[in-house]
Structure 1
Amino acid sequence: MTRLRRRLTTADAVVIGLAAMIGAGLFSAFAPAAAAAGAALIIGLAVAAIIAFCNASSSAVLAAQYPAAGGTYLYGRERLGPFWGYLAGWGFVLGKTASCAAMALTAAAYLVPAAPKPTAAALAATLGAVNYVGVTRTAKLARILLAVTLAALACTLLAVWLGGASAAASVSPPPAPLGILQSAGLLFFAFAGYARIATLGEEVRDPRRTIPRAIPIALGIVVCLYFAVAATLLVALGPAGLAASSAPLADAVRAGGLHQLAPVAVVGAGVAALGSLLALLAGVGRTTLAMAREGDLPAPLAAVHPRFATPHRAELVIIAAVVLLVLVTDLRGAIGFSSFGVLVYYAIANASAFTLPRAQRWFPRALPVLGFVGCVVLAFALPWTSVLSGLACFALGALRRAWRHRPSR
């Protein structure tokens, strides 16, 4: 068996996208963004949201035209050529594997802070097992985790607002433009969860209708939520307090009169990170499957389980890689590296959408142009360690492909 089964509805796709985005950003990305831009992280968030909208539009129209597993790896191959598709897939697999490690570490830091690394490894293995046994089980668990997350988040925000938490006003110099761009690049990590919807293109019902609906719905909900949370955290903790916090929402509750509710924020953050990890693992596995089908990754990874209809070998390899990463890396480094890889991925998505004829798209070509330029600018505005490590990994991937496709004597 080499094909996946179409089981997911529009609601399932929206839930998986929400679970990926809410877990990724709300509880891990605001602190490094505040360190880069201070209170101007709101501007960075707006920049990230605009570029995410451009990327979402490109991803949605491409997914409607090419409703199969792989996301931009597939679109790049079809519209730009095999090399650019390969680079997109390579960046997605590496970047999102780093994202998986970041989310596992986030969940463990909230839920079991005394032993974060072994806990993160155990959580990654457990959720990987859920993905292994079927995408419908992934969707059901994502619904449960998302419901718990939203309930905890609502309770947390009410506790901050009603508790009267407010940081002392202070005067700080305006941030440099590079700092705002860095914050936008880091916050883009939070929005990238809608890619999970496109990478599941082979498993949704009526993909030409479902995916173009699910992506903007999920992104629109998350954008509104992020602005509300960002404003709340800046008022409660101040830019400096937010930048220094490892658990911003919990610290915001503790700063007010309802500090007894801080454990709700802690549990909500941990569960949200688990939801993001679950969706991330599903997306990386499907892109790995698509690359293996085309010979860009080892062919055995293209196997689909005869009973569960999942890319089971790809899932096992990804789980092993995530477990290794959580044992040797830290959270902020993983976020920066992931952002670089995913921004390159979406730059290729926008370039692919630009090549579509007018009859196949519902937006002017200026939109993918803006998305492409924005992705490139944000990628190279990230901290230099993230840029250098990202460039090194892409160079390694290009050399690997060149070696595999070298002319035979």
Structure 2
Amino acid sequence: MQSRPRLQIDTTTATGLPTAPPRVIGFWGGLSANVLNMIGIGPFITIPLALTALAGPQVLLGWVAGAFLCLCDGLVWAELGSAIPESGGPYHYVREAYGRDTYGKLFGFLYLWQTLLAAPLSIGSASVGFAQYLAFLVPSMAPWQQSAVAAALCLFNTALLYRRVGSIQKLSVLITVLVLGACAWIVASGVLHFDTRLAGNFLNMGNPDPHGFWLGLGAVALIAVYDYGGYNNVCMLGGEMKEPRRNIPLAVLFSIPLVAVLYLGLNITILGVLPWNVAAQSKAVVADFMQAIYGHAGSTTAVVVILVASWASALVVLLGYSRVPFTAARGGQFFAVFGRLHPRGAFPTVSLVFVGVTSALACLLPLDDLIAVLILVQVMFQFIAQCFAVVFLRRRPDRDPHAFSMPLYPLPIVISVAGWLYIVATGQPKHVAAGALALLGGSVVFLIQAKRERSWPFRHP
């Protein structure tokens, strides 16, 4: 697909050096980038959190609601990614929709700002989860050693990605097949050893009071969004996708139901093997689940699978996020040094190293509340703004008529906005306040920079 003329980037200079990454990622590479991002450490550590937030069969409703919200939001991403297939996609979406020289500059900067906050937390959480499950195999690991392992994993992934992206695509596809097969084995094991008595006890639990139910449903939906998160990773790599008008929507919309079925199967089978109160208190619920079925050998095998999944998830998230400072630098809204490409490999160098190192530093911080803060920051900074971006872009006369258009428009947008507002409204006040302060801080930094540069909104007539 050809992007809008104003967004086209020459791929080489007059000297023959590359100025933009080549389009080398196909559908399977894009799908694997999404799936590996989605099947990370998330569900393996958040199932107990969900059971604690909303005890009883209603927790399954929260997982379904989260999947449905992500599917509606996935239609938003699919349309935007097809219309504007550039690396660091969301940065371009909001700039084009809200005006490159006016409000789009503010929204573009805020997206960059939240990425600088969210990227280290997202990558770091996957790496810390890797270290925590590794501690299941090595119980003697001290907390500081777990932090060191997580930080080392971030630096190792940075070195691994310091190469042409085509080779990483082959690796990600191979690992995706391995991880999906292993997860299917875990779910199938639960089906074969499903105890209807345990499941019946769980399904017959009493309903909570309505006030607690609505707050708990919001908490579980937030957890589900975190676990399903990653279906948009292909949009970060839009400028490196082949046939992006076709492959970006397919990668987004195939990955969501694929992973949703897997996660729901995992939740249901766990509750048919472990008593729900045991699962709610577990620190390594899938390991305990497999140990109940196969003993020590089963739990060890499951932990190895989870280690591979969490490592691969941290890898592809780093790959996607490392393109955002690069894109912003090319757009003149970040330090120019972040716009450098490797002269032979044609991949962002400074941007990759920066995100990798800050992610390693994030592993040294306590991450208990960061899942909620991470999601709320993304909702308040980006997800709601992108829903309206689809509306504005559809009204433009230069809209590509061959780009993907979501079915039932604008219903998916209405559902997405309502869902995001519900998650914010049911969030813990301290988490919402943290997101609001981050949004305010980013706006202040933008205004200070704009005033210093005498650009919008301080441009003199």
TM bracket (short chain): over 0.9
Match in the other structure for 1:66: 84
Q: CA deviation at 1:18?
A: 0.6
TM-score, normalising length from structure 2? 0.83
Q: CA deviation at 1:371?
A: 0.9
> How many residues matched?
408
- Partners of 1:27 and 1:215 in 2: CA distance: 22
Query: 1:274 is matched with which residue: 298, 304, 311?
Result: 311
Q: CA deviation at 1:396?
A: 1.6
- Partners of 2:312 and 2:365 in 1: CA distance: 23
Query: 1:154 is matched with which residue: 152, 159, 184?
Result: 184
Q: CA deviation at 1:258?
A: 4.6
**Structure index of larger Rg:** 2
Contact 2:41–2:130 (Cα < 8 Å) also in 1: no
Q: Structure 2 vs 1, CA of residues 242 and 88 (structure 1 numbering), >3 Å: closer, same or farther?
A: farther
- Partners of 1:214 and 1:316 in 2: CA distance: 27
List runs of 5+ in structure 1 lacking aligned partners.
none
Q: Structure 2 vs 1, CA of residues 6 and 257 (structure 1 numbering), >3 Å: closer, same or farther?
A: closer
Contact 1:167–1:235 (Cα < 8 Å) also in 2: yes
Query: 1:246 is matched with which residue: 280, 283, 307?
Result: 283
Matched, 1:357 2:394: yes
Encode CA deviations 1:138-184: one digit per residue, 9 max, x unaligned.
22222233233223323323333334567583645425211111110
RMSD: 2.1
- Partners of 2:124 and 2:412 in 1: CA distance: 32
List runs of 5+ in structure 2 lacking aligned partners.
1-17, 99-103, 396-400
Q: Look up the equivalent residue of 2:369 and give its one-letter code.
A: G
Q: Structure 2 vs 1, CA of residues 387 and 236 (structure 1 numbering), >3 Å: closer, same or farther?
A: farther
Q: What is the correspondence of 1:7-406 to structure 2 with a 5 Å cutoff?
A: 7-39=24-56, 40-80=58-98, 81-113=104-136, 114=141, 115-164=145-194, 167=198, 169=201, 171-174=205-208, 175-256=212-293, 258=295, 260-330=297-367, 332-344=368-380, 345-357=382-394, 361-363=405-407, 364-406=409-451
Q: Look up the equivalent residue of 1:45 and give its one-letter code.
A: W
Q: CA deviation at 1:112?
A: 4.1
Q: Look up the equivalent residue of 1:362 and give its one-letter code.
A: M
SS at 2:430 equivalent: helix
Q: CA deviation at 1:257?
A: 5.5
Contact 2:273–2:289 (Cα < 8 Å) also in 1: yes
Q: Structure 2 vs 1, CA of residues 319 and 255 (structure 1 numbering), >3 Å: closer, same or farther?
A: same
Encode CA deviations 1:334-384: one digit per residue, 9 max, x unaligned.
322221123232222211112232756333112112212212221342333
Contact 1:88–1:348 (Cα < 8 Å) also in 2: no
Which one has the bigger helix percentage? 1
Give percent identity, aligned residues only. Answer: 25
Matched, 1:2 2:48: no
Q: Structure 2 vs 1, CA of residues 97 and 172 (structure 1 numbering), >3 Å: closer, same or farther?
A: farther
Contact 1:164–1:257 (Cα < 8 Å) also in 2: no
Q: Structure 2 vs 1, CA of residues 208 and 246 (structure 1 numbering), >3 Å: closer, same or farther?
A: same
Encode CA deviations 1:286-329: one digit per residue, 9 max, x unaligned.
11211222233222111111122111101111111111110122
SS at 2:293 equivalent: coil
